[in-house]
Amino acid sequence: MNKILKSLLLMPLLALSVNAAATQYTEGEQYTKVNEQATKKQEVREYFSVYCGHCFKSEPLMHGIKKSLPKGVKFERNHVDFLRGASPKIQQMITKSTIVAEQLGNGDKLIGAVFNYIHVQRAVITSEKDLRNIFVLNGADGDKFDKLMKSFSVNSQAKSLKKNQDTMSGKRALTGVPAIFVNGKYRINSAKLDKNNFEQDYQNLVKYLLELDS
- Whole-number Cα distances in Å, 210 to 44, 55, 95, 118, 126: 9, 23, 26, 34, 39
User: What average pLDDT does range 44-52 have in this prediction?
Assistant: 98
User: What average pLDDT does range 92-105 have in this prediction?
Assistant: 98
- For the chain, give the longest Cα–Cα distance: 66
Q: Does pLDDT of 16 surpass 60?
A: no
CB 168 within 8 A of CB 34: yes
Which range, of 1-5, 28-32, 72-76, averages the lowest pLDDT?
1-5
Domains and CATH numbers, the chain: 26-212 (3.40.30.10)
DSSP 3-state of 77: strand
Q: What are phi and psi of 208, to 5 degrees?
A: -60, -45
Q: Does pLDDT of 58 surpass 60?
A: yes
Cα gap 213→183, rounded to integer Å: 8
pLDDT of res. 10: 52
CB 110 within 8 A of CB 104: yes
- Whole-number Cα distances in Å, 186 to 20, 33, 84, 116, 207: 19, 5, 27, 30, 12
CB 210 within 8 A of CB 183: yes
- Residue 15 binned pLDDT confidence (cut-offs 50, 70, 90): very low
pLDDT of res. 60: 97
Mean pLDDT, the chain, rounded, equals 92
Cα gap 39→184, rounded to integer Å: 6
Cα gap 55→50, rounded to integer Å: 7
Helical residues (DSSP H) of the chain, grouped into ranges: 2-24, 53-57, 59-68, 88-103, 107-119, 128-137, 142-150, 152-170, 198-212
State pTM to two decimals.
0.88
pLDDT of res. 64: 97
- Residue 213 binned pLDDT confidence (cut-offs 50, 70, 90): confident
Choose between 146 and 18: higher pLDDT: 146
